[in-house]
């Protein structure tokens, strides 16, 4: 069972006045792990990882990014990486213990942008299937999926079928409770993804902005960094890893067989074991 204070839901106010919703738990005197989900997801995608980290003794902050889940949507559609990096700094502003960032896809891109631009430097970083030079074919596939259901779904089961078609290597879930947390039923009775569709605006510009961040990573060559790669991912390839390694030679790569881009969801047991082993080594907790 998890130790320390019970998990509670809190809010963080961004510099432009948005409320970011987070689940926070664990001993405030221990090292903190900040969980940052991918685009189109919510903090609930980290449910298994959060439990495992709490059981391992870490304090955990698991927040919904702007435009996702229970966090506010930007009034002017501001979802640039540099803005998300500022949001991250807001979330960690009051933390007094060492902080590790665990960022998947968009969350990892946010962490890289914060590092590269000097917005925030953690004690350790875990990138989950994301590098600055991504395979654009995989990005296009994600975009097609996210744009593919503008009229929503008649049922949660229909949404599950769409996810299964996108992730054919993942066994279909028998319980749709987790998926339901990523959906909202509107007055017309249909179910829609619970994120602001404006996050898909100007995707090419955002990729270019992200690719440029690799040049600024040379300033963190002493920072422990782990890349968790799904071996069936169509986002991270060997070329992207080698470019990242040239910028940060200390990079450690942990491969997860049987997992695609959504590594934690595909192989949560393997993911948790690899990440916690890394964190225990580079950012230990007090007992």
CATH number at residue 13: 3.40.50.1820
| 182 found inside a domain | no
| 223 found inside a domain | yes
- The pLDDT, as a whole number, for residue 203 is 62
- Which of 91-100, 164-173, 221-230, 250-259 is predicted least confidently? 164-173
The domain of 21 spans 8-138+203-282
Q: Does the pLDDT at position 154 exceed 90?
A: yes
| 249 found inside a domain | yes
Task: Compute the average pLDDT of residues 75-102.
Answer: 95
| 261 found inside a domain | yes
Structural domains of the chain, count: 1
Task: Compute the average pLDDT of residues 271-286.
Answer: 95
- The pLDDT, as a whole number, for residue 238 is 95
- The pLDDT, as a whole number, for residue 208 is 67
- The pLDDT, as a whole number, for residue 205 is 57
Q: Report the chain's mean pLDDT, rounded to a whole number.
A: 91
| 222 found inside a domain | yes
Q: CB within 8 A of 85, min separation 6: which ones?
A: 110, 113, 114, 117, 119, 120
Q: Does the pLDDT at position 4 exceed 60?
A: no
Query: Cβ distance 8 to 24 under 8 Å?
Result: yes
Q: Does the pLDDT at position 6 exceed 90?
A: no
| 2 found inside a domain | no
- Which of 66-70, 99-103, 211-215, 244-248 is predicted least confidently? 211-215
Work out the pLDDT band at 164, boundaries 50, 70, 90. confident
- Which of 111-120, 125-134, 170-179 is predicted least confidently? 170-179
| 175 found inside a domain | no
Q: Does the pLDDT at position 1 exceed 80?
A: no
CA dist list (Å): 118 to 103, 112, 123, 269: 17, 10, 14, 33
Task: Compute the average pLDDT of residues 90-104.
Answer: 96
What digits encode the pLDDT tens for the residues 26-81?
999 999 999 999 999 999 999 999 999 999 999 999 999 999 999 999 999 999 99
Q: Return d(Cα 65, Cα 37) in angstroms, integer.
A: 7
33's enclosing H/E stretch is strand 32-36
Q: CB within 8 A of 10, min separation 6: which ones?
A: 21, 22, 24
- The pLDDT, as a whole number, for residue 204 is 58
Q: Does the pLDDT at position 107 exceed 80?
A: yes
| 151 found inside a domain | no
What digits encode the pLDDT tens for the residues 219-274?
888 899 999 999 999 999 999 999 999 999 999 999 999 999 999 988 999 999 99
**How big is the CA angle at 67 (ends 162 and 139), to the nearest 5 degrees?**
50
CA dist list (Å): 20 to 70, 71, 119, 180: 8, 5, 18, 20
């Amino acid at each position: 069972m998890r130790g320390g204070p019970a998990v509670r839901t809190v809010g963080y106010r961004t510099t432009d006045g948005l409320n970011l919703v987070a689940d926070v738990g664990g001993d405030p005197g221990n090292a903190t792990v900040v969980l940052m989900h991918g685009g189109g997801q919510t903090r609930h995608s980290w449910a298994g990882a959060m439990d495992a980290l709490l059981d391992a003794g870490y304090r955990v902050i698991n927040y919904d990014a702007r435009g996702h889940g229970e966090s506010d949507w930007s009034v002017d559609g501001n979802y640039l990486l540099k803005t998300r990096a500022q949001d991250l700094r807001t979330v960690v502003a009051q933390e007094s213990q060492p902080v590790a960032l665990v960022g998947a896809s968009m969350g990892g891109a946010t962490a890289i942008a914060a590092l590269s631009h000097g917005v925030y430097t953690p004690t350790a970083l875990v990138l989950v299937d994301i590098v600055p030079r991504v395979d654009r074919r995989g990005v296009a596939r994600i975009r097609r999926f996210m744009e593919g259901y503008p009229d929503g779904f008649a049922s949660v089961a229909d949404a599950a079928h769409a996810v299964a078609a996108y992730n054919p290597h993942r066994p279909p879930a028998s319980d749709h409770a987790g998926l339901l947390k990523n959906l909202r039923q509107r007055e017309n009775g249909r179910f829609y993804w619970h994120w602001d569709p404006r996050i898909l605006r100007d995707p090419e510009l955002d990729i270019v902005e992200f690719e440029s961040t690799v040049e600024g990573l040379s300033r963190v060559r002493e920072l422990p960094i782990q890349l968790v790669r799904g071996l069936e991912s169509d986002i991270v390839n060997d070329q992207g890893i080698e470019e990242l390694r040239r910028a940060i030679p200390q990079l450690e790569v942990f491969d997860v067989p049987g997992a695609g881009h959504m590594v934690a969801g595909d192989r949560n047991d393997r993911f948790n074991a690899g990440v916690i082993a890394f964190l225990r080594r580079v950012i230990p907790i007090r007992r």
